Amino acid sequence: MATSTSPNIVFRTCFSRRLVKDHGRKLSSFLPVLLAFSSSILLLFYVSSTSEIYSLRRISSVYPRAIMGVEVQEHLQEVHENMIITRNSSSFNINTQRSPRVSTVGSPLEKRNKNDDTFHDESLFMKEYKEMNKSLKIYAYPHNKNDPFANVLLPVDYEPGGNYASESYFKKSLYESHFFTNDPLEADLFFLPFSIAGLRNDKRVGVGGIQDFVKNYVHNISRFYPFWNRTGGADHFYVACHSVGRTAMMKAVEVKINAIQVVCSSSYFLPGYVAHKDASVPQIWPRKGTRPTRLPSERTKLAFYAGAMNSRAREFLVTTWENDTDISVHQSRLKTPYSEALLESKFCVHAKGFEVNTARIGDALYYGCVPVILADHYDLPYADILNWNTFSVVVSTMDIPMLKKILLQEIDSNAYLKLQRNVMRVQKHFEWHNVSVDYDAFHMVMYELWLRRSHVRIS
């Protein structure tokens, strides 16, 4: 089960499938796949030559253990790091962002990192961020004046809200940002502006029509513009937060295989999601007004969870802890306000539902509550930039019976204070704004794109 979804295998099967199907086509459309394939080979060599250097302890300090089985985790971690290199083979320094092996072991930097630093490598992030902020350019495909689907291609003209706001906020922010360019020749990346949420709500399309719409859209832009064919879509991306986005690319295989998919439902075990190529965007339910705060000492409850019973993880959580006095679990709407429950608790549990992602992590962070993440195989937002172990507790769903022991005994009050302080520090990365500001959710997504920008150019 594990290996069949590792990116390495995904790329290999894609390669052979394409080889059989498209052997008559131009070399240019193979290029990204060929690159991916050759990098898999390089990577196998690399893994076999350096595998003894990686210890499990180091890996789990970068990627929360519980996300996947340790062996898969180790394997993917290495795949992950190396695939990034292949998108720009000269920038081996990018690798330090992801690899503890090359970070400054034993230096003051590492010491600080152990205690405090919410970034894997803050100085590298700051340096690259400045560079990105100066030079990254995005071209968004325009639409015809009388395109009947302008509504799904244009940014919304209202303030986004609700569960899937991240998608709308991203587009709104992009079109107003200095990253946006009208000149495709200076663009590093090309934005596919269709809104998955918009298509889903459009009666002419609906859930059942999204796949065909996307297929036709990509067909159109690849006919009318030279940019798609140049890289097979490798320098193109779209952003979606609704989970129907998971299957939206089934009829547009090149998007799935080559383009950068920036999505909320980012799971290592979804066939449509390729962890190192695609990126995870946080699902955030925007809240108005000033953010309320509550000191850790005034948080009187240990842990809180409420939500519908739509997954085994949630059922297990509720049946295990339903009568507990410290861990408060609810399988229905609360009679008291949700915000108060998040403010009065030390820990707020995010349990996988239909999807690995829900707005609960964003909610917990917003209210200064340390998230406890029970969502195996979740590729957490910005996991290649931020060290989730410094501001959250990631627990395997198998360990739900250990929850109280972990929260009460393994995390002492000092450790809790650190986690909570770091929650306050990362809050800014999980917020969208009408007018985006440095290091907010929009800029973090731009940074993810920057890390994944392709340098493949065929003229």
Ligand X SMILES: *[C@@H]1O[C@H](CO)[C@@H](O)[C@H](O)[C@H]1NC(C)=O
Residues at the interface with ligand X (CB under 6 A): 88, 90-91, 130, 133, 158-159, 178, 213, 216-217, 220, 222-223, 226, 229, 319, 322-323, 434, 438, 455
For ligand X, the closer CB: 37 or 169: 169
Determine how β-strand 236-240 pairs with β-strand 260-263: parallel
CB of 311 to ligand X, least distance (A): 18
Closest CA to 448 of 372, 366, 385, 405: 385
- The least distance separating ligand X from the CB of residue 36, rounded to whole angstroms, comes to 17
Distance between CA atoms of residues 118 and 380, nearest Å = 14
If the CB atoms of residues 413 and 434 are measured against ligand X, the closer one turns out to be 434
Q: Least distance (Å) from ligand X to the CB of residue 364?
A: 21
Minimum gap (Å) between residue 71 Cβ and ligand X: 32
**How many angstroms separate the CA atoms of 191 and 205, rounded?**
21
How far apart are alpha carbons 165 and 286 in whole angstroms?
A: 7
Shortest reach from residue 288's CB to ligand X, in Å? 7
Nearer CB in complex with ligand X: 158/333: 158
Cβ burial, residue 53 (10 Å; 0-12/13-18/19+): exposed
Is the backbone of residue 98 left (phi > 0), alpha (psi -120 to 50) or beta?
A: alpha
Q: Would you say 133 or 427 has its CB closer to ligand X?
A: 133
Shortest distance, CB of residue 90 to ligand X, whole angstroms?
Answer: 4
Among 293, 295, 306, 321, which Cα is nearest to 408's? 321
Scored b (16 or more CB within 10 A) or e, 200-225 reads bebeebeeeebbebbbebbeebbeee
Give the nearest distance from C-beta 130 to ligand X in angstroms. 5
Residue nearer to ligand X on the CB measure, 49 or 90? 90
| SS3 of the chain: helix, strand, coil, percent, to 5 | 50, 10, 40
Side-chain half-sphere of 135: how many Cα atoms within 13 Å? 10
